[in-house]
């Protein structure tokens, strides 16, 4: 049988089709460099198996294409955070408030949760002093009444709490006594018209046996009040006597009345 040699010059353009090419006979040496472009690749033809390890870097990512769904759990560590995450942030520009948020590791178990700054006050015991108001009094005050009467004795201190949850610690120091032996003088603190001293006889009960001038003694009142208000409150020191005798305050010095607002 004679062998007919076919030269490339004897093959017309487009005469060799896919059907005339044996399977798996075209190797890469027959491909012109850069001949295979994206139009020659079928959709989804390039899979992860076709990619060399470590071949895809960030220059091939579309901006914004790496989202939280593509980050495995526990992959964001402190080592991955820039040192400027906090130092480079914009300052809050205002005093910290209860509603501001912080992140905490719940029970050191690796679960990150948010917490309001108000919880820090609860944890710390709510001991912050928000304001201090002081009143001094040098007036000698006296009464013969057996009832507390604000109009005729004692002196006032006004304070406006900054939060309704605040407590008010009240402290008063002054000289006080009664001018008759075997009788007693009572001193207490009122919030507006309410006696907030212990019992019905005030926070301090003092009995003297001489005249008010010679036996007036130091009194110290200490009361914690929870007014639950942000309106102005008037606290007053008041006194009363027993048996119609004269009760005195401040005959021998200056009285001092102090209110501390404590964060609740």
Dihedral pair phi/psi, residue 75, rounded to 5°: -85, -20
| Nearest residue to 154 (alpha-carbon basis) of 184, 179, 191, 126 | 191
| Nearest residue to 244 (alpha-carbon basis) of 155, 176, 183 | 183
Predicted confidence at residue 3, as pLDDT, reads 67
| Nearest residue to 98 (alpha-carbon basis) of 163, 169, 167 | 163
* For the chain, domain boundaries: 95-125, 129-262
What is the residue-wise DSSP string for 54-108? T---GGGSPTT---GGGS-TT---GGGS-THHHHTSPP--S---TT-EEEEEETT
CA atoms of 96 and 101, how far apart (whole Å): 10
Could you report the per-residue pLDDT of 173-227, keeping only the tens digit for each?
Answer: 888 877 766 677 788 889 998 888 765 444 444 445 444 444 567 788 889 999 9
Q: What is the pLDDT along the chain (264 residues), one digit of tens a residue?
A: 666 666 666 788 888 888 888 888 887 787 788 777 778 788 888 888 888 888 888 888 888 888 888 888 888 888 888 888 888 889 989 988 989 999 898 988 888 899 998 888 777 765 688 999 999 988 888 888 888 877 556 689 999 999 999 999 999 988 887 776 667 778 888 999 888 876 544 444 444 544 444 456 778 888 999 999 999 999 999 888 877 888 888 877 788 999 999 987
What percentage of the chain's residues is helix, strand, coil (to nearest 5)? 15, 30, 55
Predicted confidence at residue 230, as pLDDT, reads 96
- Please state the pTM of the whole predicted model: 0.52
CB atoms within 10 A of CB 217: 12
Q: Regarding the domain delimited by 129-262, which CATH topology (the fold level of the hierarchy) does it fall under?
A: Jelly Rolls (2.60.120)
Predicted confidence at residue 39, as pLDDT, reads 80
- The three-state secondary structure class of 236 is strand
Radius of gyration of the chain (CA): 44
Dihedral pair phi/psi, residue 184, rounded to 5°: -125, 155
């Amino acid at each position: 049988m004679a062998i007919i040699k076919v030269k490339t010059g004897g093959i017309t353009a487009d005469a060799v089709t896919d059907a005339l090419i044996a399977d798996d006979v075209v190797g890469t040496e027959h491909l012109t460099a850069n001949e295979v472009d994206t139009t020659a690749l079928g959709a989804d033809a390039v899979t992860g198996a076709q990619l060399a390890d470590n071949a895809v870097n960030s220059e091939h990512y579309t901006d914004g294409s790496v989202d939280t769904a593509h980050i495995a759990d526990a992959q964001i560590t402190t080592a991955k955070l820039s040192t400027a995450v906090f130092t480079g942030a914009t300052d809050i520009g205002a005093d910290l408030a209860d509603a501001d948020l912080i992140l905490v590791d719940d029970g050191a178990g690796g679960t990150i949760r948010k917490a309001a700054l108000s919880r820090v006050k609860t944890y710390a015991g709510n001991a912050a002093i928000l304001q201090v108001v002081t009143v001094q009094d040098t007036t000698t005050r006296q009464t013969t009444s057996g009832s507390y009467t604000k109009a005729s004795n004692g002196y006032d201190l006004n304070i406006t709490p900054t939060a309704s949850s605040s407590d008010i610690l009240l402290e008063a120091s002054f000289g006080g006594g009664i001018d008759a032996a075997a009788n007693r003088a009572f001193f207490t603190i009122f919030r507006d018209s309410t006696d907030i001293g212990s019992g019905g006889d005030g926070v301090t009960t003092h009995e003297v046996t001489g005249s008010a001038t010679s036996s007036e003694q130091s009194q110290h009142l200490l009361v914690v009040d929870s007014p639950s208000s942000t309106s102005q409150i008037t606290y007053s020191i008041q006194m009363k006597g027993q048996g119609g005798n004269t009760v005195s305050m401040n005959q021998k010095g200056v009285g001092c009345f102090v209110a501390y607002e404590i964060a609740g």
